[in-house]
Amino acid sequence: MLNFYRAASIVAGPAAGALLRWRASRGKEDLSRLDERFGRPSRSRPFGVLVWVHAASVGESLSVLPLIERMLDFIPNGHVLVTTGTLSSARLLRDLLPEGAFHHFAPIDRPDAVRRFLDHWRPELAVWVESELWPNLVRDTHLRQIPTVLLQGRMSARSYRNWRWARSLIGPLLAGFNQVLVQTQADAGRFSDLGAVQPVVTGTLKYAGFPLAAKETALREMQSMLGARTRWLAASIHPGEFETVYQTHVQVRENFPDLLTIVVPRHPSTAFELEKKWVSRGLSCSRRSAGTGLSPETEVYIADTMGELGLFYRLSAIALIGGSFIDHGGQNPIEAVQIGCAVITGPSMFNFAEVMADFNLSGVSLSVGASADLPEKVSELLSAPEHIVSLAQQQKKIVTSKASVIDTVFEALICYLPTSE
């Protein structure tokens, strides 16, 4: 099947190029760096050892930042090339990557683009994060005998069912990795069944991620505007969850008339339509990107700017984690817990099964089974601020106790890290 996929990607090559250019015309790709998506570099290869880390998007990129620093400390005069496929991750990494590391857009999975990319960069080690495995890119890296490691591999039950129908495609890819490190025992069983050789359970590096930052000036400004208002945060909310948040605000407001709901949409591009819809239903809304600020009459503050989630976690004692009331599997709850929020989740958190299992075992899970139960849970928490603080401390203690996962992962990686050229 790999040969069939390769042939199909060649045939579809012109269409893929046209799609990228169309996306760039609509601001979904960086037009000034579009050549990178075709494997054409925008800078020279640095002299010396180069480790290549591929992460799909923002969450995966942030989770490996501490590991990248460890690798750079270990490799004298070495460099780390980080590839991602999204504009949002590129913008964030521009300011967050340590000295010695740099970002490049991942090439599209077309043989000519992959060849140009690998010809230029010639990494000594390739590290894939989680589960974005592009067949041509992985296969050609293996054929060049570049050592490859899959980090914090994750495979949901749904993905596993789908991949079982394409074993002849994924099997050779997984078998070619020198090492496969996965998050849970369930992941290990699924990866092994599909062809990975002796996957090792290490947990998720997100436990060891750096806390999300916030600008002090922005924090002080927001605290001044908020004062002592009762508030809660709905973070990384998907369009399919907007109605859940709306109904929760309306019902909780009956008990807390000064309630402010802060909504961080998962996709900032949805914020304008969200504001328009809720205003038409009688809510007073303010959108951060519009610069309208907050007034005592504002009921909903839509935080639709990039890279400020750390700011809003610092402004609310409780945070609803988005992606958990739809069949998405939840966004990252660890980021909120690290900053001191008590996190509430819906029933769909399979992306973070390990975290939720730890919370359940310790009796500090704030999971609700259905969207209709959310208003009661939020009201209950807002009525007991001391209880919120206690729960947040207990959740944070669990997350902190798992931070040593970075040591486990680095120990597994160290035998593949070159120290000099």
> Is 38 part of any domain?
yes
> Is 126 part of any domain?
yes
* CATH label of the domain that carries residue 278: 3.40.50.2000
> Is 277 part of any domain?
yes
User: CA nearest 351: which of 56, 49, 50?
Assistant: 56
The tens-digit pLDDT sequence of the chain (421 residues) is 888 888 888 888 888 888 988 998 888 899 899 999 999 999 999 999 999 999 988 888 999 999 999 999 999 899 999 999 988 889 889 889 999 999 999 999 999 999 999 999 999 999 999 988 999 999 999 999 999 999 999 998 889 999 999 999 999 999 999 999 999 999 999 999 999 999 999 999 999 999 999 999 999 999 999 999 999 999 999 999 999 999 999 999 999 999 999 999 999 999 999 999 999 999 999 999 999 889 999 999 999 998 899 999 999 999 999 999 999 999 999 999 999 999 999 999 998 988 999 999 999 999 999 999 999 999 999 999 999 999 999 999 999 999 999 999 999 999 999 876 5
For the record, the structure tokens of 165 come out as 């129908």
Task: For residues 27 and 137, state if they share a domain.
Answer: yes
SS3 per residue for 225-262:
HHCCCCEEEEEEECHHHHHHHHHHHHHHCCCCCCCEEE
How many domains does the chain contain in total? Answer: 2
Q: Which residues contact 100 (CB under 8 A, 6 or more apart)?
A: 72, 78, 79, 80
Task: For residues 24 and 96, state if they share a domain.
Answer: yes
Alpha-carbon radius of gyration of the chain: 22
* CATH label of the domain that carries residue 121: 3.40.50.11720
CA distances from 156 to 39, 127, 130, 176 (A): 30, 21, 11, 21
> Is 421 part of any domain?
no
User: CA nearest 408: which of 204, 185, 209?
Assistant: 204
Task: For residues 11 and 151, state if they share a domain.
Answer: yes
Q: In Å, how far from its chain's centre is CA 16?
A: 25
Task: For residues 157 and 57, state if they share a domain.
Answer: yes
For helices 2-11 and 167-175, what crossing angle results, to 10°? 100
User: CA nearest 212: which of 50, 339, 64, 95?
Assistant: 339
Task: For residues 159 and 198, state if they share a domain.
Answer: yes
Beta pairing partners, 301 = 262, 286
Task: For residues 224 and 167, state if they share a domain.
Answer: no
Task: For residues 409 and 397, state if they share a domain.
Answer: no
- For residue 420, the model assigns a pLDDT of 60
> Residue 420 class from Cβ within 10 Å (0-12 exposed, 13-18 middle, 19+ buried)?
exposed
The whole-angstrom separation of Cα 94 and Cα 352 is: 27
The whole-angstrom separation of Cα 151 and Cα 421 is: 24
Burial 384-419 (b: 16+ CB within 10 A, else e): eeeebeebbeebbebbeebeebbebbbebbeebbbe
Task: For residues 222 and 357, state if they share a domain.
Answer: yes
For the record, the structure tokens of 323 come out as 């992606």
> Is 284 part of any domain?
yes
- For residue 58, the model assigns a pLDDT of 85
Task: For residues 31 and 60, state if they share a domain.
Answer: yes
216 is catalytic: no
Are residues 235 and 320 in contact, defined by beta-carbon separation less than 8 angstroms?
A: yes
Task: For residues 224 and 284, state if they share a domain.
Answer: yes
Domain housing 351: 216-401
Q: Which residues contact 94 (CB under 8 A, 6 or more apart)?
A: 103
User: The pTM is what?
Assistant: 0.88
For helices 157-164 and 167-175, what crossing angle results, to 10°? 110
> Is 152 part of any domain?
yes
Three-class SS state of 180: strand
- For residue 421, the model assigns a pLDDT of 54
Out of 60, 275, 308, 354, pick the active-site residue.
60
DSSP 390: H
The whole-angstrom separation of Cα 15 and Cα 24 is: 14
> Is 168 part of any domain?
yes
Task: For residues 38 and 86, state if they share a domain.
Answer: yes
DSSP 318: E
Task: For residues 118 and 106, state if they share a domain.
Answer: yes
DSSP 366: -
